[in-house]
Amino acid sequence: MTNPYFGRLLTAMVTPFNEKDGSINCVAAADFAEWLINNGSDGLVVEGSTGEAATMNLEEKLAVLRAVVERVNKRVPIVVGAGTNCTESTISLIHAVEKCGVDGLLIVGPFYNKPTQEGYYQHFAAAARATELPIIVYNVPGRTGSNIMPATIARLAKDFGNIVAVKEAAGNVNQVAELYRLLPENFTIYSGDDGLILPFMAVGATGLISVLSNVGGGLLQDLMQAYSEGRVKDAADLNKKMVPLANAMFMETNPIPIKAAVSKVTGINAGVPRLPLTPISSKCEAKLDSILKNNGLI
């Protein structure tokens, strides 16, 4: 097993919707996947939180996924969001998406239910038994309402060879340090927060699943490369440039700002988010334009 398992920088890509009626735009999704490959992404995460999977039905998910898989054609790994807050429906979703030729699964901790640590273990154990695909456990307490503890991740890694990585988005450096202490060396710890990639790497993370890399993959790659080569001052200087840009993508709920940024930076119309998310406000859009211009992205 290599570390990082799917590559150092995975982009949690937005899902383009048609401007007129809000339907999915598979052609734009494939075009955007191509753009990402050419602009710093080592792999793609399709239909995660940033991809608005929560407001897509199964037919739409499979259509987008097939379009991206076909265009990418195994040039980089494709990981698909396959988590729900029900173990049975998670397994059903796994079986549906694995037929599309994906390379891995990102499975979020069940949201709303707030399982015990044993409940988390049993949920991911059931998912791991249901597939041979490699799995990234996604820990994001801010969206799920509960934290998957490092000891639970370590137990899963020990018991299931296809649980290969964690996307850690609790925003806690100490928790990443504990993961690194407990997990085997070949288990990948991905930061789930752009703004924390540098401190997370300092305590054991080796990769990033990123929102910002939808438009700024090159900067993130440069930062991680500098740190990996021991050029800590260079990494800190790049981090100083990156953090305000990353923060701008969360002025409003993700993916509202990044979806607007994609349309501005790439020339690919990503459309607007689906309700209950709303288009970016005029005040935040003005701030976004200023930050993108200051960083030479538009």
How many other C-beta atoms are found inside a 10 Å radius of the C-beta of residue 280? 21
Dist CA 235 CA 232 (whole Å): 5
Q: Are 215 and 261 in contact (CB under 8 A)?
A: yes
Query: For residue 92, what are the CA distances in angstroms to 82, 86, 132, 133?
Result: 9, 10, 14, 14
Which conformational region is residue 210 in: left (phi greater than 0), alpha (psi within -120 to 50 degrees), or beta? beta
Question: Residues 263, 269: contact at Cβ < 8 Å?
Answer: yes
Q: Is 180 a catalytic residue?
A: no
Q: Is the separation of the CB atoms in 101 and 126 below 8 Å?
A: no
CA distance 104 to 183: 20
Among residues 5, 121, 138, 190, the one annotated as catalytic is 138
Has 167 been annotated as catalytic?
yes
Quote the CA–CA distance of 121 and 134 in Å, as a whole number. Answer: 16
Q: Which of 5, 120, 121, 167 is catalytic?
A: 167
Report the SS3 class of residue 168.
strand
**205's tokens:** 């993370």
So which residues are the catalytic ones? 138, 167
